Amino acid sequence: MSESNITGCILGTAMGDAIGLPYEGLSRRRAAKLLGPPTHHRLFFGRGMVSDDTEHTCFTAQALIASGGDVELFRKDLAWRLRWWLLGLPAGIGLATLKSIVRLWLGFNPRNSGVFSAGNGPAMRAAILGAAISDRPQLRSFVRASSRLTHTDPKAEYGAFAVALAAQFAQQQSSNSSTAYLAELEACLGHEAQELIELLHQAAASAQAGETSLTFAQSIGQAKGVSGYIYRSVPVALHACFRYPNDYAAAIKAIVECGGDTDSVAAIAGGIIGCRVGKAGIPEIWLDNLIEWPRSIPWMEQLAEQLQVTTETGKSSSHRGRDRTFQSHIWALPFRNIFFLFIVLFHGFRRLLPPY
Stretch that binds Mg ion, among 68-76, 127-135, 250-258, 259-267 (CB under 5 A): 259-267
Rounded to an integer, what distance in angstroms lies between the CA atom of residue 207 and that of residue 30?
A: 26
- What would the x/- binding string for Mg ion be over residues 5 to 44, using CB under 5 A? ----------------------------------------
Rounded to an integer, what distance in angstroms lies between the CA atom of residue 151 and that of residue 177?
A: 30
Which residue, 51 or 113, is less far from Mg ion as judged by CB?
Answer: 51
* Residue 53 near Mg ion by CB under 5 A: yes
Rounded to an integer, what distance in angstroms lies between the CA atom of residue 78 and that of residue 213?
A: 33
Interface with Mg ion (CB under 5 A), residue total 5
Inter-residue contact 123 to 268 (CB < 8 Å): yes
Which residue, 24 or 257, is less far from Mg ion as judged by CB?
Answer: 24
Q: Residue 194 corresponds to which amino acid?
A: Q
Which residue, 233 or 308, is less far from Mg ion as judged by CB?
Answer: 233
Rounded to an integer, what distance in angstroms lies between the CA atom of residue 331 and that of residue 340?
A: 15
Q: Which residue in the shown chain puts its C-beta closest to Mg ion?
A: 51
Stretch that binds Mg ion, among 52-60, 146-154, 174-182, 291-299 (CB under 5 A): 52-60
> b/e for 239-248, b at 16 or more Cβ within 10 A?
bbbbbbbeeb
Rounded to an integer, what distance in angstroms lies between the CA atom of residue 241 and that of residue 248?
A: 9
Rounded to an integer, what distance in angstroms lies between the CA atom of residue 193 and that of residue 331?
A: 43
Which residue, 1 or 265, is less far from Mg ion as judged by CB?
Answer: 265
Contact with Mg ion (CB under 5 A) among 77, 157, 257, 263? 263
Whether omega for the bond prior to residue 294 falls within 30 degrees of 0, making it cis, is yes
Q: What is the DSSP letter of 23?
A: G
Touching Mg ion, residues 311-340 (CB under 5 A):
none
* Residue 55 near Mg ion by CB under 5 A: no
Q: How far is the CB of 92 from Mg ion (least distance, A)?
A: 5
Strand-pairing partners, residue 260, are 226
Q: How far is the CB of 54 from Mg ion (least distance, A)?
A: 8
* Residue 292 near Mg ion by CB under 5 A: no
Q: How far is the CB of 4 from Mg ion (least distance, A)?
A: 25
Rounded to an integer, what distance in angstroms lies between the CA atom of residue 9 and that of residue 291?
A: 19
- What would the x/- binding string for Mg ion be over residues 76 to 105, using CB under 5 A? ----------------x-------------
Residues near Mg ion (CB under 5 A) = 51-53, 92, 263
